[in-house]
Structure 1
Amino acid sequence: MRRTTTLLARLLLGGAMLAAVAVAPRAQEAAAPPEALFPELEASRVRLEAAGWLLRGSATFIGQFHPGFRSRYEGPSSMAPGAVQANTFSADLVIGRRLWSGAEIIIDGQISRGFGFSNARGAAAFPNAEAFRLGSEDIKGYVPRAFFRQTIALGTTMEEADDDPFRFAGPLPRERLTITAGKFSIWDIFDDNRYAHDPRTQFQNWALVGAGAFDFAADARGYTNGLAVEYDDGVWGVRLGALQVARDQNGLALDATPGRGFQALVQLDRFWRIDDRPGAVRLLYGASRTNSANYRDLIAVNFDEAASEAVRNYRVKHNLLLNFEQALSEDLGMFGRLSWNDGRSQSWMFTEMDRAVSLGLSLRGARWGRADDTVGLATNVGWLSGAHRRYLAAGGIGFITGDGRLRYSPEVATELYYDIRVAPGVNFSLGYQLLVNPAYNADRGPVSVFAVRARLAV
């Protein structure tokens, strides 16, 4: 793995330097950031970007281990109770091109390998958001993002933008309209949170990366096709989205009839500063129309495969979330999410959770002389609807949960991590998670999860 990561870094950085020389020999000289790991190569990348080409890269390894835990029984979607280690590796090469004023095309090529515990089953708040249920022992390549984006200035005031590997560096119009069309992750635009939104640099549990009870549109890898329109003025934000949904439960193929199967999203944001400390609240509503079955009908046909297919129909699931963040001091931030869906029909794309509450803190290391290190602590509590609970108790099997029977109790996932900045663009983290009542079953667990993460970004 070390050789793979080293080779990737050399290819990415070498490619940036060669492309900068070839494409932008007369571009204005730009000094590399003083903290760049490879200053000359970073200067070449900056010159390349000044000439209208974006080139970014990253590689992330996550290794996790859980010792054996109590299990009175297990089913097809249970987490294996024996001691298990699992790991994932992913690497991205992002290429972008400016087209005209405010317009750009972004393409993200990715390779990945590895698995989550029990092929990413057995806990609704799964501990590795880099894992998906199409894991592989071999390296697989695909294109998770390929989109067009147009940013339209509605005023002359500019503001500094947060660092984004999928956007050209530089300020953005404070008041703007942004249109994005193509293939992307719904989390690229919706349910953002500065303290808990990226498993490669922050919390790893996917119920802390996003709202657990919101059935986000995605294929089994976490991406979809769609259109998003955003308005921002620095105080208010409005985001609208129309996206494809999975054809089958947690399937890789997207529904090819977007007039019948789709997800529509409306998000309202409010931003503020208290004593110059930023805060935000986001309210997101989503209506998902998928070719799914409701739990009552699945129980009535006794989970017969053919009969279960017969009771599938296009039906709407309503989703709602409230997401907030607030800086409490220069180095300490607080965040939380509340999410809900109606819980009548099958969980289809993200995870199996019908109500969820998460709350956490993120602390930078300035107090002990490590200003670029981060400590995070957060907890998510997830619940099932009555219909979903009865389905699992009767022996129903979901795509993530399903022990064959159920002694129901809310699932609680707590995560603590320390992320160390080893060098510019190089981070290493240690983490611990405790899963209580995994898959909502008081007859199993608790599960302790120990994690290491290494990341290189250029």
Structure 2
Amino acid sequence: MACLLAWLVAWPAWAQHGGGLGVAPPPGPAEAAIFPDLAARQQALEAAGWMVRGQSTFVQQVHPAFRAPYRGENSLGAGAQGRNTLSLDVLLGRRLWQGAEVIVDPQVSRGFGLSGTRGLAAFPNGEAFRVGSDMPTLYVARAFLRQTIALSGERSPAEHDPLRFAGSLPRERITLTAGKFPVFDIFDDNRYAHDPRTQFLNWAFASAGAFDFANDAKGFTNGVALEWESGAWGLRGGAFQVAKRINSLSLDPQPLRGFQLLAQADRFYDWGARPGALRLLLGLSRTRAQRWEALVEGDITATEVSPTGASTTKTMAVLNWEQELRDDLGAFARASWNDGRTQNWMYTEMDWAVSAGLSWTGQRWGRAADTVGLAGNVGGLSPGHRRFLEAGGIGFITGDGRLRYRAEVAAEAYYRWRAAPGTDVTADLQVFGNPAYNADRGPVAVLGLRLRTAF
């Protein structure tokens, strides 16, 4: 605990984009934890209906100078630079009645992403967002009520879910969640690529790059989600608030003017006795975004909110796949798309994206708790979005002042080393071609180091 507080004081850092889920203590007996006495107390508290968990994640990233004949307001800085981020969570929970629990997640964050989290659509730090700070900032990341209703007496094997009390769940069940939380907590899950605190750091691997997920500028939103799961199938739906202005901290308070509706179908299966999953996520957002042609033909700088106050809609889709290949090897892939007619409003600036990767654990070299990851993403723009940037338009993440368009390419490789129970050290390398879709700039390599402790 002392080292976590020391990190807070010593480093300029900040927090997640919403996808970070790694707030659970290490699984297993208390004597195997980094703080055995604390873990034993945590387990006793959970048996009595209380949850106290925590984590701290520090990420340092640097890149050398790279080719860039010009730059714009939202360009990745071409000179060598380094930035770091830090988040500290204490997750609190209380069982209320049968199947009901309330979860609250106070979070402290501090710091900045590379170039202020600008200049790359597939941004390399999933712990970074656009509103960093030099001083520690305290806020509530999650505060929600969850009710689980059993539809069968059969129990599923206990899973390590950091946002739930330990123990098995009914195999067939309905779950209702209402309050403040990231959309990523429920939707677009993937066993091998979803948590930037323990897996791939890049936004395009933590979630679907071309899906404009509802969130504020720190990655959170208010809403309600309803889920049905049977072990073989899952159906999930949700309604959420959207940002009041482009990538803003404030959410739109008028539910008929701004909202996002999500629907996801999951199919869980075995292939050659190996578990796999296929997920289809569909979404519709209504925001005060403008159409690209209206911006290009009118005031190209009026990107914060529609001058008329009128709302527009955006439709989106993701196909998400995961498959265990061996005991120590898994694969994943995502394909995502949005209609590309209106501004990207909340997550990042992609209109189509395809990603895939592999994840190995270290059984073969005697390090079963270690993980190696390798993945790639290709993302692109709709014709209207491309014309906007070519005309000198500035989005909320990209904008070089001009554009020689090419698809943006991102590749990531990491090695996560279990240094001690509950403590991981990760070395990370990412390489980008055509940053922010601009063939005149780059390529650029980003080196990273991630330190994480869970308790």
Common fold by TM > 0.5: yes
SS in 2 for 1:118: helix
**1:18 corresponding residue in structure 2:** none
| More moved, 293-302 vs 216-225 | 293-302
Cα-to-partner distance string for 1:210-234 (whole Å, 9 max, x where unaligned): 0000000000000000000000000
Q: Select the residue among 276, 281, 290 that pairs with 1:293.
A: 290
Gaps of 5+ in 2: 9-27
Q: Select the residue among 325, 341, 346 that pairs with 2:343.
A: 346
**Maintained 8 Å contact 2:288/2:305:** no
Cα distance in 1 between the residues matched to 2:201 and 2:2 = 21
Q: Per the alignment, do residues 6 and 77 of structure 1 end up closer, same or farther by CA in structure 2, a change over 3 Å counting?
A: closer
**2:191 corresponding residue in structure 1:** 194
SS in 2 for 1:132: coil
Larger Rg: 1
Pair 1:76 & 2:70 matched:
no
SS in 2 for 1:172: coil
Query: Which one has more relative contact order, counting CA pairs under 8 Å at least 6 apart?
Result: 2
RMSD of aligned residue pairs (Cα, Å): 1.6
Q: Per the alignment, do residues 304 and 169 of structure 1 end up closer, same or farther by CA in structure 2, a change over 3 Å counting?
A: closer
1:325 Cα shift?
0.1
Q: Select the residue among 271, 293, 313 that pairs with 2:310.
A: 313
Q: Select the residue among 394, 404, 408 that pairs with 2:405.
A: 408
**Maintained 8 Å contact 1:32/1:46:** no
Cα-to-partner distance string for 1:107-131 (whole Å, 9 max, x where unaligned): 0000000110110000000000111
1:275 Cα shift?
3.2
**1:270 corresponding residue in structure 2:** 267
1:160 Cα shift?
2.2
Pair 1:60 & 2:57 matched:
yes
Cα distance in 1 between the residues matched to 2:155 and 2:305 = 55
Q: Per the alignment, do residues 143 and 306 of structure 1 end up closer, same or farther by CA in structure 2, a change over 3 Å counting?
A: closer
**2:178 corresponding residue in structure 1:** 181
SS in 2 for 1:328: strand
SS in 2 for 1:297: helix
Cα distance in 1 between the residues matched to 2:354 and 2:223 = 28
Gaps of 5+ in 1: 9-30
Q: Per the alignment, do residues 208 and 47 of structure 1 end up closer, same or farther by CA in structure 2, a change over 3 Å counting?
A: same
How many positions carry a matched residue from both structures? 436
Q: Select the residue among 120, 123, 130 that pairs with 1:123.
A: 120
Cα distance in 1 between the residues matched to 2:155 and 2:141 = 30
Cα distance in 1 between the residues matched to 2:220 and 2:112 = 18
1:451 Cα shift?
0.2
Pair 1:251 & 2:248 matched:
yes
Q: Which amino acid aligns with 1:349?
A: M
Q: Which amino acid aligns with 2:321?
A: F
Cα distance in 2 between the residues matched to 1:188 and 1:439 = 27
**2:23 corresponding residue in structure 1:** none
1:276 Cα shift?
2.8
**1:12 corresponding residue in structure 2:** none
| More moved, 61-70 vs 298-307 | 298-307
Give the % identical residues. 58
**Maintained 8 Å contact 1:5/1:59:** no
Question: Which aligned pairs between 1:26-65 and structure 2 lie closer than 5 A?
Answer: 32-65=29-62
Cα distance in 2 between the residues matched to 1:162 and 1:448 = 36
1:188 Cα shift?
0.2
**1:168 corresponding residue in structure 2:** 165
Cα distance in 1 between the residues matched to 2:278 and 2:339 = 22
Cα distance in 2 between the residues matched to 1:343 and 1:6 = 45
**2:205 corresponding residue in structure 1:** 208
**1:221 corresponding residue in structure 2:** 218
Q: Which amino acid aligns with 1:452?
A: L
Which TM-score applies when normalising by structure 1?
0.93
**1:24 corresponding residue in structure 2:** none
Q: Which amino acid aligns with 1:58?
A: Q
Cα distance in 2 between the residues matched to 1:170 and 1:183 = 24
**1:159 corresponding residue in structure 2:** 156
Q: Per the alignment, do residues 253 and 71 of structure 1 end up closer, same or farther by CA in structure 2, a change over 3 Å counting?
A: same
Cα distance in 2 between the residues matched to 1:330 and 1:122 = 38
SS in 2 for 1:159: coil
